[in-house]
């Protein structure tokens, strides 16, 4: 078990370009979360999946953002037509919800810089 | 909507001393979970301690303990015998049964030698 893996670790893109991030959760973790964190702030919830089903999306997730988890394993987060305000750390986490919430295990994040 | 408040943006403590970080939350639910996460500089977030709301006994993990006051919706973290490696951002988080995690804005803790 190597933990939650995110790729790439860093991404610099020009405004208006599309970017895609990947998250590989801990195997057998059926729940996967995406969060966004700006400098000095707490993580803000974006969306989460239970297996391949996207169960909830935050109002923060504009129509330029889309997330998928096609086979219930890895997930991708795509941002279209990036804006400078999208610059942030994008965190992925996974967990195994049972009788209640167990802890969420976080990846190291993908830092996006839009120039 | 649930909210989590951490009123101390920054704190410092001398090595080997004790420090308490504050957290309050707002919810109308009865079954939920509370967490403290630690995020060291440039490193990933890890769980420090977890508390189930239905348990009256405060959770303890080695040098870390919580003071959970359900009626007051308060969930503070006490770090005893502070170590230099405790220097990090600390986030209080709330999760309803089976729902996503809501994080507070964080407290930056510096442990001074």
Distance CA B13, CA A85 (A): 35
Q: Indicate whether B43 pLDDT > 90.
A: no
Cα gap A45→A33, rounded to integer Å: 8
C-beta atoms surrounding A93 within 10 Å? 27
Under 8 Å CB-to-CB from A58, ≥6 apart: which residues? A44, A45, A46, A47
pLDDT at position B105 is 95
Which of B4, B44, B95 lies nearest to residue A101, judging by beta carbons? B95
Cβ separation of A100 and B33 shorter than 8 Å? yes
Do A45 and B98 count as a contact with CB atoms less than 8 A apart?
no
- The rounded distance, in Å, linking the Cα atoms of A51 and B40 is 30
Least Cα distance to A48 among A30, A62, A63 occurs for A30
CA angle A11, A16, A21 (to 5 degrees): 35
Q: Output DSSP code: residue B13.
A: E
Q: Residue count of chain B, please give it.
A: 113
B12-30 mean pLDDT = 95
Paired strand residues for B19:
B79
- Chain B residues touching A108 at Cβ < 8 A: 43-44
Q: For residues B45 and B88, is the Cβ–Cβ distance under 8 A?
A: no
Helix then strand count (H, E) for chain A reads 0, 11
Residues above pLDDT 90, as percent of chain B:
81
Q: Does B103 sit within 8 Å of A44, measured CB to CB?
A: yes
Q: Which residue has the tokens 């009256």?
A: B56
Cis bond upstream, residue A8 (ω within 30) = yes
Tokens of B20: 């308490």
Walk along chain A (115 residues) in steps of 10 and give the mean pLDDT of each run: 89 98 93 93 93 89 92 94 96 79 87 97
pLDDT (0 to 100) of residue A1? 53
- As given in the structure block, the two tokens for residue B92 are 């209080």
Q: Give chain A positions within 8 Å (CB) of B99.
A: 56, 101
Q: What is the pLDDT of residues B46-80, one digit of tens each?
A: 999 999 998 889 999 999 999 999 999 999 999 99
Q: What pLDDT does residue A62 have?
A: 86
**Strand, coil or helix: B85:** helix
* Residue A5 forms contact with B (CB below 8 Å): no
Predicted local confidence at residue B48, as pLDDT: 96
Tell me, what DSSP letter sits at residue A62?
A: -
What's the pLDDT score for residue A98?
62
Task: Tell me how far apart the alpha carbons of residues A101 and B50 are, in angstroms, rounded to a whole number.
Answer: 10
Nearest to A48 by CA among A71, A20, A77: A77
């Amino acid at each position: 078990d190597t933990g939650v893996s995110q790729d790439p670790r860093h991404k610099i893109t020009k405004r208006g370009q599309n970017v895609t991030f990947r998250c590989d959760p801990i195997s057998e973790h059926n729940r996967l979360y995406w969060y966004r964190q700006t400098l000095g702030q707490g993580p803000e919830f974006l969306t989460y999946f239970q297996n391949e089903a996207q169960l909830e999306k935050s109002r923060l997730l504009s129509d330029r953002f889309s997330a998928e988890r096609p086979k219930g394993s890895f997930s991708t987060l795509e941002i279209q037509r990036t804006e400078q305000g999208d610059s942030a750390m994008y965190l992925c986490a996974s967990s195994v919800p049972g009788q209640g919430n167990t802890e969420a295990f976080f990846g190291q994040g993908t830092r996006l810089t839009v120039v | 909507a649930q909210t989590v408040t951490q009123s101390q943006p920054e704190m410092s403590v001398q090595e080997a001393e004790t420090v308490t970080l504050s957290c309050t939350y707002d919810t109308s639910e009865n079954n939920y979970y509370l967490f403290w996460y630690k995020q060291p500089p440039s490193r990933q977030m890890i769980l420090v301690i977890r508390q189930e709301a239905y348990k009256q006994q405060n959770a303890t993990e080695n040098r870390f303990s919580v003071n959970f006051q359900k009626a007051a919706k308060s969930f503070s973290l006490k770090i005893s015998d502070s170590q230099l490696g405790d220097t990090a951002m600390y986030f209080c988080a709330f999760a309803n049964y089976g729902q996503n995690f809501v994080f507070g804005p964080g407290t930056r803790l510096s442990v001074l030698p």
